[in-house]
Amino acid sequence: MVRAAAPKKYLGSVVAVREDLRFDAQRLGDWLREHVAGYQGPLSIRQFDGGQSNPTYLLETASAKYVLRRKPPGVLMKSAHAVDREYRVLSALSARDFPAPTPLALCGDVSVIGTMFYVMTFVPGRIFWDCTMPDLSREQRSAVFDSVNATLARLHSFNPTTLGLGDFGRPGNYFARQIARWSQQYEASKDTHIPEMERLIAWLPGAVPADEGLSSIVHGDYSFHNVLIHPAEPRVVAVVDWELSTLGHPLGDLTYHMMDWYRPAGVDLRGTLRDKDLRALGIPTFEEYVARYCERTGLRVDGNFAFYRAFNLFRVAAILQGVAHRLQEGNAAASNAQEVTTRIRPLAAAAWQEAREAGALG
């Protein structure tokens, strides 16, 4: 995995390792020599900036580059930051030539760098911060969106059991389980009262669509900032950041990914597509993008998109509340964590607006 050290238009610049996230490079080098085939030092270490969860590092030697992803130090919330799960799903997918980094070694010995971590291959590529991709031509932009759509459709087409991931999560009841999980984590990490979040926590469980039977491998955070585009060509070369992956409903993954189409302006620095001239940009409409995904997967989508939009906006608000909690605890992964936490209230308000469109009262 890599988030390219590139101009600011791309997310994921490489910076010096923050003081609170440093570790003994010599000890890591000794471990790499023993566990990663072909490794030869000396070792240089820098940190990818931008991710909000598991700290990620670029490891460079004279002959190779690697990426290390670790649990953050400090007190962590239960079940969060499961880098061993990331390692497992990457192992299964890379064996099927799915565009993802190849995991090389997992370390559960916390004495090496202080927390569990794994090392994977470095994949050069571009990550677009602005979802309108202003530096691309209309044709390039269209090709990128289509490749991202095809990649997600391929992920959802895998049989989890065939991949050896039949027990990677509990099948069925995905939305109910996700609502319960993020409601609990929100309650455990909140530091102020947000009325819209309380209303959503009360309303969402009873609004879950009746058909919960579909189950596939879901990424959990399939966004343009977690998809690497080839350095020169408009196609996906790797999907990164698998911390939230599990067995789940593919439409949850699809509609989360499509938040760029319905995210209100001003709640995310990545912007929104909802007020853009999509035809001029060469970007498909929400309906066109869904239709192309359904052609590729054979799935049918019901029309209850307001529920999906409310659910996903709520989920992001709950996740960012966890970022705020880690900031208070002093173990937030990114340098912009303080800014990110200001988005919680606007996201909650937008989620409640969608919930009311879906039939919520109040």
User: Is residue 36 scored above 70 in pLDDT?
Assistant: yes
Q: What six digits make up the tokens of 152?
A: 């997600």
Measured CA distances, 4 to 12, 16, 23, 222, 286 (Å): 6, 14, 22, 18, 28
Neighbours of 65 (CB within 10 A): 14
Average pLDDT of span 281-308: 92
Measured CA distances, 314 to 19, 50, 104, 320 (Å): 33, 21, 35, 10
Average pLDDT of span 287-312: 91
| Omega within 30 of 0 (cis) for the link into 72 | no
Q: What is the pLDDT of residues 119-144, one digit of tens each?
A: 999 999 999 989 999 999 999 999 99
Chain centroid, CA 340 distance in Å: 15
Q: Would you say 238 and 1 are in contact if contact means Cβ atoms under 8 Å apart?
A: yes
Rounded to whole angstroms, the Cα distance separating 111 from 114 reads: 5
User: Is residue 21 scored above 80 in pLDDT?
Assistant: yes
What pLDDT is recorded for position 8? 33
DSSP letters for 43-86: -EEEEE-S-SSS-EEEEE-SS-EEEEEEPPSS---TT-S-HHHH
Q: Scanning the structure block, which residue is given the tokens 């004279």?
A: 62
User: Is residue 333 scored above 60 in pLDDT?
Assistant: no
Q: What is the pLDDT of residues 303-312, one digit of tens each?
A: 778 999 999 9
**Per-residue confidence band for 6, with pLDDT thresholds at 50, 70 and 90:** very low
What pLDDT is recorded for position 123? 96
Domains and CATH numbers, the chain: 14-121 (3.30.200.20), 138-357 (3.90.1200.10)
Q: What six digits make up the tokens of 270?
A: 């990545």
Neighbours of 231 (CB within 10 A): 11
Q: What is the pLDDT of residues 52-79, one digit of tens each?
A: 578 999 999 999 999 999 998 865 555 5
Average pLDDT of span 258-281: 90
Neighbours of 164 (CB within 10 A): 12
Q: Which of 130, 86, 173, 92 is nearest to 263 (CA)?
A: 130
DSSP letters for 293-333: HHHHH-----S-HHHHHHHHHHHHHHHHHHHHHHHHHT--S
Highest mean pLDDT among 24-33, 183-192, 322-331: 24-33
pLDDT, the chain, mean: 88
**Per-residue confidence band for 300, with pLDDT thresholds at 50, 70 and 90:** confident
| Percentage of the residues of the chain whose pLDDT score is greater than 70 | 88
**Per-residue confidence band for 9, with pLDDT thresholds at 50, 70 and 90:** very low
What pLDDT is recorded for position 262? 93
Q: What is the pLDDT of residues 163-179, one digit of tens each?
A: 999 999 887 788 998 99
Q: What is the pLDDT of residues 84-111, one digit of tens each?
A: 999 999 999 999 999 999 999 999 999 9
What pLDDT is recorded for position 13? 80
Chain centroid, CA 117 distance in Å: 18
What is the chain's alpha carbon radius of gyration, rounded to the nearest angstrom? 20
What pLDDT is recorded for position 191? 80
Q: What six digits make up the tokens of 320?
A: 């960012």
Q: Which of 116, 115, 113 is nearest to 105 (CA)?
A: 116
The structure's pTM equals 0.88
Q: Would you say 1 and 120 are in contact if contact means Cβ atoms under 8 Å apart?
A: yes
What pLDDT is recorded for position 3? 39
Q: Say which residue, 337 or 242, is predicted with more confidence.
A: 242
What pLDDT is recorded for position 332? 52
Measured CA distances, 150 to 254, 261, 283, 336 (Å): 11, 17, 15, 31
Q: Would you say 128 and 10 are in contact if contact means Cβ atoms under 8 Å apart?
A: yes
What pLDDT is recorded for position 2? 38
